[in-house]
Structure 1
Amino acid sequence: MKNRFIEMRKKSEDLCKPLIIEDYSLQPSEFVSPPKWHLAHTNWFWEEFILTKYLKDYTVYHPDFSYLFNSYYNTIGKRVLRPSRGLMTRPSVEEVYKYRKYVNDAMETLLSANCDEKLLELVEIGINHEEQHQELLIYDIKYIFGNQPAFPVYGNSHGLPEQNINSEFIRIQEGIYTIGHQAEGFSFDNELGVHKVYLNDFEISSQLVTNAEFIEFIENGGYANFNFWHDEGWQWVNSNKIEAPLYWHKIEGEWFKYDLSGLQKVNLSEPVNHISFYEAFAFSEYKAMRLPTEFEWEIASGQFGWGQLWEWTNSAYLPYPNFTKAPGALGEYNGKFMINTMVLRGASVATPVNHSRKTYRNFFHPHMRWQYCGIRLVKKNRTD
């Protein structure tokens, strides 16, 4: 566990190596967190939930850091509001890295001793929590760079494998299926509550929707036809003047997109990325198809390759049967967000290796699209 902890912590800092000091504190939108904040918040998590409880005589690095770097844990106390995370020039980036070393040294001391089962469970949660932030860090860096006039290069982009030209549809028979995490190993509490669901037979695409297919939707007036959209999605499109996926730019008649390697022509064979649920739904209506439910996706996932992009489902993020929130602050980790969000399944090319699994339930508000997300379609039956 100690070696795994060390490697994971190094990965967070490696992701920031291409940055210059000026990049660390930017917050171009309320939903984006500055890279400096990610580094400090994940550090605070280890200090607050583990070191202060399990390491004898541990001294908190700085008394103000809980207020500055708590994210949403009301149980812990007051915190800086999310829109204000980019207003903090202090502590400096240098001080945040000193803070991380201080916590790393303390955690390595703790993990060098005999650890009981409860402590190891908390360390597992901490590792998975920081891995989540590693992926969010990539999203946020991309948004910070992708909204600058010069489209700066971060480094190599997370390349998306090209899709086959002809997508096949996989038929899944109707029946009663078991849903939820059943394997050995870690899972989040929102994956628990193993239960049965009945599914009608359905046919799901073996491929994700490509950029070429989405350009067809754009050129055929998809963003201008209210018939394809939820009412709320239609308001979102018009209020925000949405005309293409996030990071797309039409230059002299050709589509370009910003990626971490810079501005480049859209590859028609790659899966379309940075799509909101509203856009995913509208595209499915345009194609006279639909999005899968999260249960259909989970059952069918063994029949197709996944992990390139998080895939929108048509399922609201709700608790499974017998779901219970953990006591204390960790009970705020998932349960309190089970409203007004939609489930995405799978993983993305930005997801840390071995972090995700077929039962993983990611969730975002339907207008969000800065995350790496795409579309997989299901054929509509005559009764759909």
Structure 2
Amino acid sequence: MPQPIRPELTPAHSSDLSERFSTVRALSLALAAPLSDADATVQSMDDASPTKWHLAHTTWFFETFVLRDHVAGYALHDERFPFLFNSYYEAEGRRHARDRRGMVTRPSLDEVRAYRAHVDAALLDALPGLSADAQTLVALGCHHEEQHQELLVTDILHMFSENPLEPAMWPAPRKVPVEMPGPIGWIARESGIVEVGHDGEGFAFDCEGPRHAALLVPHAIADRTVTNGEWAAFIADGGYTEARHWLADGWAWVKAEGIVAPLYWEQGEAGWTRFGLDGRRAIDPAAPVTHVSFFEADAYASWAGARLPTEFEWEAAAATHDANGGNQMDVAGPVEPRPAANGPAFFGDVWEWTGSAYRPYP
């Protein structure tokens, strides 16, 4: 399994860990609360998983690696569940095929909720007496579940997008005056050696370390994310019809798949709309663009006379900004992230592309 670089909490902080565990587990249920049993069972593509599977898999993680391995006398809630809800942990034995998860109509959503309640009660009861290693696994499991919360939301969105009715899971967001960000500013940086990777404070996955030196060449990086309004200008200027801005593989993808806009965008008489968990709405021109591929991001950067930053250029710039303004997954409803008006906004609740491959650190 992925290993944390260091414990997030020690046994002396078990009450804090208990609160964090309960908060994370409650959010997963809140995110899934508007769904029917049928909604929670559908698998809309091989790369997505049903909501019910996410809720059960994250529970299986805690049951297997904490309760089974560290609590004497603990008996599995259901001996059949490890086969159904293991993901890729080879050492844990056989598992149900990923592309067949949508066929698991039983256990029902209510039975999965009961499974979660059983494991939660057992873990909270055992938590004060767990070893430091076991408590570290609880902290790891919380981060693991937060990853699945992001997957949960994206998989639900794709599932509903395949429904011709385009149902809304959440009500429309409260109307607020659109605060358009100012023009993108550019933060210049000279060449030099920077330290990148986990700095040793708090939790980190093993792929975030070790901390090491990286060489940066002179460059400038945008001080905020690209907005929907700016992306619409890219489209209007022939961004999806001219090959000159695209990598060869990207252009082949555009032509083969008929790509004309970001995923979930459609053009109507009144302009561009996007489908989200609040249904189909007019795009918010001030919100960061989302659901674009690497190829699209690279083409946009080329059109804008720039390039995607490297991983280390982005990390060096982001390290000077406060990350606490983002991460709004704790709001179980529609949140429209937006860049800060006339100010740096590196953490806006959207994933950001770099030009770097995903590779281990030296």
- Aligned residue for 2:127? 111
Residue correspondence of structure 1 range 54-203 to structure 2 within 5 A: 54-113=70-129, 115-156=130-171, 164-203=181-220
- Structure 1 residue matching 2:107: 3-state secondary structure: coil
CA distance in 1, matches of 2:298, 2:274: 22
Q: Does 1:266 align with 2:283?
A: yes
- Aligned residue for 1:31? 47
Give the residue type in structure 2 aligned to 1:148: N
- Aligned residue for 2:234? 217
Percent of residue pairs identical: 41
Residue correspondence of structure 1 range 175-324 to structure 2 within 5 A: 175-252=192-269, 254-301=271-318, 302=320, 304-308=344-348, 309-321=350-362
CA distance in 2, matches of 1:183, 1:318: 20
Q: What 5-or-longer segments of structure 1 have no aligned partner?
A: 322-384
| Contact map agreement 1:210 1:271 (CA 8 A) in 2 | yes
Structure 1 residues 68 and 241 mapped into 2: Cα distance closer, same or farther (>3 Å)? same
CA distance in 2, matches of 1:218, 1:118: 52
- Structure 1 residue matching 2:352: 3-state secondary structure: strand
- 1:36-58 per-residue CA deviation (whole Å, 9 max, x = no partner) reads 00001001111111111111111
| Contact map agreement 1:293 1:315 (CA 8 A) in 2 | yes
- 1:294-341 per-residue CA deviation (whole Å, 9 max, x = no partner) reads 1000111125322211110001000001xxxxxxxxxxxxxxxxxxxx
CA distance in 1, matches of 2:37, 2:150: 20
Q: What 5-or-longer segments of structure 2 have no aligned partner?
A: 1-16, 322-343
Higher strand share: 1
> CA shift at 1:149, angstroms?
1.6
> CA shift at 1:82, angstroms?
1.4
| Contact map agreement 2:60 2:85 (CA 8 A) in 1 | yes
Name which of structure 1's ranges 308-317 and 139-148 shifts more when overlaid on structure 2.
139-148
| Structure 2 length-normalised TM | 0.84
- Structure 1 residue matching 2:32: 3-state secondary structure: coil
After superposition, the CA RMSD in angstroms is: 1.8
| Contact map agreement 1:163 1:271 (CA 8 A) in 2 | no
How many residues end up aligned between the 2 structures? 320
| Contact map agreement 1:212 1:269 (CA 8 A) in 2 | yes
- Structure 2 residue matching 1:290: 3-state secondary structure: coil
- Aligned residue for 2:66? 50
CA distance in 2, matches of 1:172, 1:156: 43
- Structure 2 residue matching 1:141: 3-state secondary structure: helix
Give the residue type in structure 2 aligned to 1:48: T
Higher helix share: 2
| Structure 1 length-normalised TM | 0.80
CA distance in 1, matches of 2:27, 2:285: 32
> CA shift at 1:98, angstroms?
1.3
